[in-house]
Amino acid sequence: MERAKTKNRLQRRWNFWGYLFILPNFIGFVLFMLVPIIMALVFSFTNYDVISTMDFIGFENYIDLFTDDQFLISLRNTLWYCVLTVPSGVVLALLMAVLLNRQLKGMAIFRTLVFIPVITSMVAVSLVWSMLYEDNSGLLNILLGYLGLGPVHWLTDTNMAMISIAIMSVWKGLGYNMTIFLAGLQGVPGELYEAATIDGANSVQKFFKITVPMIGPTTYFVTLMALIGSLQVFDQVNIMTGGGPVDATKTVAFYLYQYGFQFYKMGYACAAAYVLFILVFIVSLIQNISSKKWADLT
């Protein structure tokens, strides 16, 4: 009996110190995440403009959103950006991971070089790529000139601007996705490849019959994170094109930034933010349901 009391006392003491250590993080979560999320939901039903007194207007902000051509354009551009970046980013990262998943001299250095863009500021990367994309003095157009090709209006052509931003975004995120895939590849038992070799399977057959099925959960995670990130794209759009030319790169995140911090229609911007949240939730849910057919997440 005494032993049980001592054990319970020690357990309560450990619980106390455990809760005490997580208390700062919990307070930060409540103050800087939970409260703003709730307040944004409240503001989305008002005409809050930061200055004057806000009035409750119900679903008027949400109705205005879906009757605003600018919002529909930004929604279309966001989905187009996802189509451009997610499949290409995932496939290239997987192929890169397969190539680098070998024990060769200097491989660690090459992996580090590929990962450097990931830890580089998006602002810095966007500024550098903007200079590379310059119409007249950009390095890419200079190289095209040497090849006898005309200059490409990377950021000033409505058809090329989003593609140009997507190319930069895929390049920057390649190292992160590659690292996740490397971790997944290194968890595939080598015995499977040995057995396949004995059965006469070639490299392509091993890749599609062993590698791809075995890293299904990893592919699911990488694809999901890429989708969520793509739906929230903002930094590179703001720096490289400012939503132009002619709204060709205006995304939902950039749209709500404009209305919230430039036009001071905070209630309207909060409504746009919640529409974006619902979009991210729906896409994530669809992927989670569909992934059960090709990825064992248990």
**Torsion sign, CA atoms 132, 133, 138, 139:** positive
Q: Which residues of 178-201 are buried (b: 16+ CB within 10 A; e: fewer)?
A: bbbbbebbeebeeeeeeebeeeeb
Q: Are residues 1 and 120 in the same domain?
A: no
For residues 289 and 274, give the distance between their C-alpha atoms in angstroms, rounded to a whole number.
Answer: 22
Helix, strand and coil content of the chain, in percent to the nearest 5, comes to 75, 0, 25
Q: What is the mean pLDDT of the chain?
A: 89
39 shares its domain with 178: no
Query: Is residue 136 located within the same domain as residue 283?
Result: yes
Please give the Cα distance from 189 to 22 (Å, whole number): 37
Task: Specify whether 159 is located in the same domain as 258.
Answer: yes
Residues 146 and 245 both lie in one domain = yes
- What CATH number is given to the structural domain containing 102? 1.10.3720.10
**Could you give the percent of the chain with pLDDT greater than 90?**
62
Q: What is the mean pLDDT of residues 152-178?
A: 94
49 within domain boundaries: no
Predicted local confidence at residue 136, as pLDDT: 85
- pLDDT in the model for residue 107: 76
Q: Judge if 73 and 39 occupy the same domain.
A: no
Is residue 298 a part of any domain in this protein? no
Instruction: Name the pTM for this structure.
Output: 0.88
Number of domains in the chain: 2
Provide the pLDDT for residue 49: 87
Beta-carbon contacts of 72 under 8 Å, excluding residues fewer than 6 positions away, are 66
Work out the average pLDDT over 161-186: 94
Residue numbers of the domain that contains 195: 62-291
The predicted structure's pLDDT at residue 192:
87
pLDDT of residue 23: 92
Q: Are residues 133 and 209 in the same domain?
A: yes
Among candidate residues 150, 165, 188, the one with its CA nearest the CA of residue 248: 165
Together in a domain, 73 and 122: yes
Report the pLDDT value the prediction gives residue 293, as an integer from 0 to 100. Answer: 65
CB atoms within 10 A of CB 230: 23
Evaluate the omega torsion of the peptide bond into residue 245 and state whether it is cis, within 30 degrees of 0. Answer: yes
Q: Please check whether residue 268 lies inside any domain of the structure.
A: yes
Does some domain include residue 297? Answer: no
pLDDT above 80 for 105: no
Asked if the structure places residue 81 within a domain, the reply is yes
